[in-house]
A and B are shown apart, each in its own frame.
Chain A
Amino acid sequence: MSIEVRHLSKTFGRFAALCDVSLHIPDGELVALLGPSGSGKTTLLRLIAGLEAPDATDGAAVLFHDENVAGRPVRERRVGFVFQHYALFRHMTVFENVAFGLRVKPRSERPSRAEIRERVLTLLRLVQLDGMAQRYPSQLSGGQRQRVALARALAVEPRVLLLDEPFGALDAKVRQELRQWLRRLHDELHVTSVFVTHDQEEALEVADRVVVMNEGRVVQVGTPEEVFHHPADEFVMEFLGSVNVFHGRVEAGKAILGPLTLDYARGVGAKSAPARAFVRPHELEVDDHANGRPCFAAVVQHVNAAGPRVKLTLTADAGESLQAEVSLERYREMRLSPGMVVYVSPRDLRLFVDGEQKVVG
């Protein structure tokens, strides 16, 4: 079931949580709403679910497969909603929690007791919690509780599955396992799913498509690869992983960025303008001698060799701090240690002039 939202706005008092957001989510996709806190991602999710009503603006609509559900309350929308803090019914067993959605159906639609039992046990097997049916939520770990919440949401055969920071309250290892498991589960069920996260790694790893949000607006929509390698603007660039920023200007076909001067292919002869360049740590080439390419000198401040890639903290002449990464072999070859002078050149960079990305070549 595809989801489409049109011109949704939401204000809480004076705070505009969401400003005129439109978005299309194709059938069967797993989509991440990614953004910092306060970016409106949870608000958007709650608007889709119907837990919150959008501001009454012209053309505001929420469509599930071309059917406008904006006026319908949440219980008529048939959405599965999973909360960050599970929101399990703590006075019910796991079994009763999962069965809840079936038991509250009107008598004419309610499955028989045997069918409910069958369905609940099947779901518990699906979320790998068979044998836990008679436990109470307080007897489960965080990861198990979230899986119960997921089974409970799936029990009513929702048209769409909405997850609000589903792994936010879990510790790192469980988080990692659970998100891969969610991905596999989605591949089995193919129910259109939207999950909210502020963790870019989580979004990039799990989702088919990432919706990056900031200050109540959608900034970019794309596959993880697209948003990571072709960020729409400086915000996306900075938000998705660590990045080095160089401040400078463009002038007569050249980009002058502190110690670096690069050819700037497009817009030759354009007038001088301030510019910012973004380079990810792995795109910085670190060498122990100047190799002819445009480069600048920097001093190694700190070396973190715990991991497949060695992370370096460098200080350039101008005093700015840089993050760089080299492979373990290069690190051993160059015998990097704090205090050493190295030569740094960007292998790749993204230049933004007036907030617009320009190609450097």
Chain B
Amino acid sequence: MQNEECRMQNAKSGEWQVMRIALKQHSVLPGFGVSLGYTMTYLSLVVLVPLAALFARSASAGWGRFWAAICDPRVVASYRLTFGAALLAALINAVFGLIIAWSLVRYRFPGRRILDALVDLPFALPTAVSGIALTAIYAQGGWLGRWLEPLGIKVAFTPLGVLVALTFIGLPFVVRTVQPALEDLEKEMEEAAASLGAGRWQTLRRVILPALFPALLTGFSLALARAIGEYGSVIFIAGNMPMKSEITSLLIITKLEQYDYAGAAAIAVVMLLASFGLLFGVNALQWWVNRRQRVGA
């Protein structure tokens, strides 16, 4: 009713009023306008403008060159490695991160806190440091490489090395998202399942895992996003052999070094769209799961 009055008084300010009411939930805290304005400006400056520039840059080269840049066999091979290894690494992390989170939450053992702190190490370590460390360990004659070599397994300077590095840096994401969900999981739910005749395995599969699934999915998507964008730790261990162990980020750098800005931008756009698509897919899945499983009080 108030809206109508406003509209009658002054069409322009009336419309403004309607919009404000639609956007703003009444709050005791002042500053809706300021904080929304700040958010918009900040997001534009930090995220949207650079992305727009990226598109503009890649478009400047023209369609033919753009297409050639992104379809180069060497580039295509790098997509396959980057996204394939990232997906695989995120899946590995989802499985083993879950197991680590489970042991950290469910069991009390000496050294648990130290182990808990260790999980964050891949977060904290500069990526170059982890890259060098992993390379040193897995290279021929390295601590682990020495034992893997006779078995015919080469890790350093192969795609497998990329996978190892991506798994390493993605681990904390899964552990840290699953951990709180696991802590919140009521013990009573498991007891209820047991009293209804379910065995341990059935309880795990039908009760615990579905309840953890949203958290696991979040952890998975974070690990995936991180792995797709990872550069520092990978380039040391990958060996960067064209068509074999080159990741896409490295190709972008290479193009930049050759002053091929348009080519770099073109590949970057593909990366951007692909990651966006992947994350969008994961988010949609998450939304669907959460809608089914709203956490009730």
- Listed in ascending order, the chain A residues whose CB lies under 8 Å from chain B are 49, 51, 73-81, 83, 85, 87-92, 100-101, 103-105, 136-140, 145, 149, 152-153, 155-156
Contacts and interface: CB of A to CB of B under 8 A. Distances in A.
Nearest to A155: B196
Nearest to A49: B195
Contact of A90 (B196, B199, B211): B211
> Which DSSP category, helix, strand, loop or mixed, fits chain B's interface?
helix
Contacts of B196: 75, 100-101, 104, 152-153, 155-156
A87 B188 CA distance: 6
Closest 8 CB pairs of A and B: A138-B296, A101-B196, A87-B188, A81-B195, A104-B198, A91-B293, A87-B192, A138-B294
B202 A80 contact: no
Interface string B195-239: 111110010001100110100000000000000000000000000
A139 B293 CA distance: 10
A75 B197 contact: yes
B210 to A, nearest CB: 5
A92 B196 CA distance: 15
Contacts of B202: 104
Contacts of A137: 296
Contact of B199 (A75, A81, A101, A103): A75
B24 interface: no
B186 interface: yes
A85 B187 CA distance: 11
B208 to A, nearest CB: 10
18 contacts: A51-B195, A73-B194, A76-B197, A78-B197, A81-B192, A83-B191, A83-B192, A85-B186, A91-B213, A91-B292, A101-B196, A104-B193, A104-B206, A136-B292, A138-B294, A139-B294, A149-B192, A156-B196
Interface residues of B, number: 24
Nearest to A80: B195
A104 B197 contact: yes
A75 B194 contact: yes
A104 B296 contact: no
Contact of A79 (B186, B195, B206, B296): B195
Nearest to B209: A91
Interface string B51-65: 000000000000000
B23 interface: no
B189 interface: yes
A73 B194 CA distance: 9
B295 interface: yes
Nearest to A152: B196
B197 A105 contact: yes
Contacts of B295: 90, 138
B44 to A, nearest CB: 37
Contacts of A76: 197
Contacts of A74: 191, 194-195
A138 B195 CA distance: 22
Contacts of A136: 292-294, 296
Given A80-B195, A137-B296, A87 B186 contact: yes
Contacts of B206: 89, 100, 103-104
Given A75-B197, A77-B195, A81-B191, 20 more contacts: A49-B195, A51-B194, A51-B195, A75-B194, A75-B198, A83-B188, A87-B186, A87-B188, A89-B189, A89-B193, A91-B292, A104-B196, A105-B197, A136-B294, A138-B294, A138-B295, A138-B296, A140-B296, A152-B192, A156-B196
A89 B195 contact: no
A339 to B, nearest CB: 46
A79 B293 CA distance: 28
A180 to B, nearest CB: 25
A91 B191 contact: no
Interface in B272-297: 292-297
Contacts of A49: 195
A155 B192 CA distance: 13
A81 B293 CA distance: 23
Nearest to A83: B188
A156 B191 contact: no
Nearest to A96: B206
A81 B294 CA distance: 24
Given A100-B198, A104-B199, A87 B191 contact: yes
Contacts of B193: 89, 100, 104
A35 B188 CA distance: 22
Contacts of B296: 90, 136-140, 145
A90 B293 contact: yes
A85 B195 CA distance: 15
A78 B194 CA distance: 10
Nearest to A142: B297
A137 B189 CA distance: 13
Contact of A156 (B189, B197, B199, B210): B197
